[in-house]
Amino acid sequence: MMAEGHDYFDAVAAGDGVLVRMTENAATTLAHLVSQLVAFLEREETLPGHKRLLRAMKPEDVRRRMFPDACGSRAASDDFRARFREVLTDPAPAHRVAQRLQEPTPLLVPFDELEDWHTTMALVRALHLATRAPDQMVVVWTKVVQEHLIVALEPKAVTGWPN
């Protein structure tokens, strides 16, 4: 049971997917964050925090901060980003999540849409972390969503207890 007046996001495995329950404010906030991601992916609109001394960061600089070098060299990292650019910058999963967030809760997220939710929340977090002063609540809320979805599917992943 959730305390009155507090935002929450809950998920539990049910039938053909995960049953998600959240406050209206949580749904509205997540929808806003997803819309910011879509605006960046489709129109390269950066967040207000993507500024350096009154000058907006270039979208390519934001992308580099979102997807930092993760390989042994910058060239290998650039090659990785080039190979997976379409997957990493595809707005379709975010659009599907945004559509679900318009539905009243509780809502059933089918198993085949869960990857969309994980990808979208990870990209929202990465976009916000690419700012000069990331909003820690965005970081926390995107992690909460991912964590609850994972626990709903695999409780033992967190607890170590058998299903």
pTM of the entire predicted model: 0.85
Residue 123 CA to residue 71 CA, distance in Å, equals: 19
Residues in CB range of 89: below 8 A, 6 or more apart: 41, 63
Which residues contact residue 17 at a Cβ distance below 8 angstroms, ignoring those fewer than 6 apart?
A: 108, 109, 110, 111, 113, 114
Tens-digit pLDDT profile for residues 91-122: 999 999 999 999 998 999 999 999 999 999 99
HSE-up of residue 80 (Cα within 13 Å, Cβ side): 12
The backbone torsions φ and ψ at residue 71, rounded to the nearest 5 degrees and listed phi first, read -110, 180
pLDDT in tens, 31-86: 999 999 999 999 988 877 666 655 677 888 888 888 888 888 889 888 888 888 88
Tokens matching residue 54: 């009154």
